[in-house]
């Protein structure tokens, strides 16, 4: 199994730093290029919707954000699984880096959605099934961040967050399903219509691809930052220990 040997190789943070250092500029440049082209298509080379007018262009930001909101949670949960089951050393770093990014995309999806909703539905917020379940997803992200921040012991915080992330994976479909059910009782689903014209679908694909690349770039950068932060912390701790050992010697010496 080749993929496993790659993940095993990457367990060495130094090797990961070397590889990600080379990968990061490429992914970042690619993300910028694809998003740039996607934005050009979205703004200048896609038709205006006959009903929605110019506001349809919000979709090109909104849909990729919503997709990454979910993909981000999948990333967090898989990393949590890798930490608890395989004890992969980088799994916790990956989970920690992915949570704020996923939360940011969830927030972006909510904000762009409500900005689109004001001219279209006449309201910023309508307890629609989709909106509600994305809001709940946002709460789960907040819970993951809050739980991690609440503990001194970083290793323990990482593992507990992983447990919560996995509980969230079990509960998310149930929550989604129950929200759908709850909503259909009160108001019919809005339904954007999945039959999208190619002139709009192709810019959307470019934007989705570009956003995904951007997610990977930010995730890699976040992981690198986290690894460096841990190294700095370890260096500081060893410095303090050395200073303490040296300090106690000099204090102890006169007493003897």
Partner 1 sequence: MTAFLALVRRDLLLAVREGGAVGTALGFYLIVVALLPLGLGPDLKLLSRIAPGVLWIALLLAALLSLGRIFEADQDAGTLDVMAMGQLPLEAVVAGKALAHWISTGIPLALLAPILGILLNLEISAYPVLVATMLIGTPAVSFLGAIGAALTLKARRGGLLMALLVLPLYLPTLIFGISAVSAATLGPDGLVQSLTVLGALSLASVVLGPIAAAAALRLQMQ
143 contributes a contact to partner 1 by CB under 8 A: yes
CA distance 130 to 127: 8
| Closer of 6 and 151 to partner 1 (Cβ) | 151
- Polymer length of the chain: 256
C-beta separation of 220 from 23 below 8 A: yes
174 contributes a contact to partner 1 by CB under 8 A: yes
100 contributes a contact to partner 1 by CB under 8 A: no
130 contributes a contact to partner 1 by CB under 8 A: no
- Tell the burial category of 144 from Cβ atoms under 10 Å away from its Cβ (0-12, 13-18, 19+): buried
Helices (H), the chain: 2-10, 13-44, 59-81, 91-121, 129-149, 154-186, 198-255
What is the nearest approach in angstroms of partner 1 to the Cβ of residue 212?
Answer: 26
What is the nearest approach in angstroms of partner 1 to the Cβ of residue 106?
Answer: 13
196 contributes a contact to partner 1 by CB under 8 A: no
- Measured CA to CA in angstroms, residue 57 lies from 63, 76, 95, 192, 203 at distances of 10, 30, 32, 14, 10
179 contributes a contact to partner 1 by CB under 8 A: yes
CA distance 68 to 103: 9
Q: Contact with partner 1 (CB under 8 A): which of 42, 59, 166, 214?
A: 166
Number of residues located near partner 1, criterion CB under 8 A: 28
DSSP string, 130-182: HHHHHHHHHHHHHHHHHHHHT-S-HHHHHHHHHHHHHHHHHHHHHHHHHHHHH
- Over its C-alpha atoms, the chain yields an Rg (Å, rounded) of 23
136 contributes a contact to partner 1 by CB under 8 A: yes
Q: Contact with partner 1 (CB under 8 A): which of 55, 104, 159, 221?
A: 159
163 contributes a contact to partner 1 by CB under 8 A: yes
Q: Contact with partner 1 (CB under 8 A): which of 24, 78, 126, 164?
A: 164
What is the nearest approach in angstroms of partner 1 to the Cβ of residue 128?
Answer: 14
Residues 8-47, one symbol each (x = binds partner 1 by CB under 8 A, - = not), give ----------------------------------------
Q: Give the three-state DSSP class for 195.
A: coil
Q: Contact with partner 1 (CB under 8 A): which of 70, 84, 115, 200?
A: 84
Q: Which stretch binds partner 1 (CB under 8 A): 90-98, 102-110, 113-121, 163-171?
A: 163-171
By CB under 8 A, name the binding residues for partner 1. Answer: 84, 136, 139-140, 142-143, 146-147, 150-151, 153, 156, 159-160, 163-164, 166-167, 170-171, 174-175, 177-179, 181-182, 185
């Amino acid at each position: 199994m080749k993929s496993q040997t790659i993940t095993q190789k990457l367990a060495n943070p130094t090797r990961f730093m070397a590889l990600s250092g080379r990968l990061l500029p490429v992914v970042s440049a690619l993300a910028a290029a694809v998003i740039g082209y996607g934005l050009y298509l979205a703004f200048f080379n896609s038709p205006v919707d006959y009903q929605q007018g110019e506001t349809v262009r919000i979709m090109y930001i909104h849909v990729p954000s919503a997709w990454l909101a979910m993909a981000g949670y999948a990333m967090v949960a898989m990393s949590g699984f890798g930490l608890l089951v395989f004890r992969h050393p980088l799994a916790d770093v990956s989970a920690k880096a992915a949570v704020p990014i996923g939360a940011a995309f969830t927030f972006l999806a909510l904000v762009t959605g409500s900005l689109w909703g004001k001219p279209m539905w006449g309201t910023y917020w309508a307890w629609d099934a989709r909106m509600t379940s994305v809001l709940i997803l946002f709460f789960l992200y907040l819970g993951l961040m809050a739980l991690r921040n609440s503990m001194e012991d970083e290793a323990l915080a990482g593992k507990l967050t992983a447990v919560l992330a996995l509980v969230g994976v079990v509960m998310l479909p149930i929550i989604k399903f129950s929200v759908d059910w709850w909503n259909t009782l009160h108001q019919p689903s809005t339904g954007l219509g999945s039959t999208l014209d190619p002139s709009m679908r192709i810019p959307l694909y470019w934007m989705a691809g570009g956003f995904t690349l951007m997610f990977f770039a930010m995730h890699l950068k976040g992981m690198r930052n986290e690894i460096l932060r841990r190294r700095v912390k370890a260096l500081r701790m060893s410095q303090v220990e050395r200073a303490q050992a040296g300090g106690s010697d000099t204090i102890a010496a006169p007493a003897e």
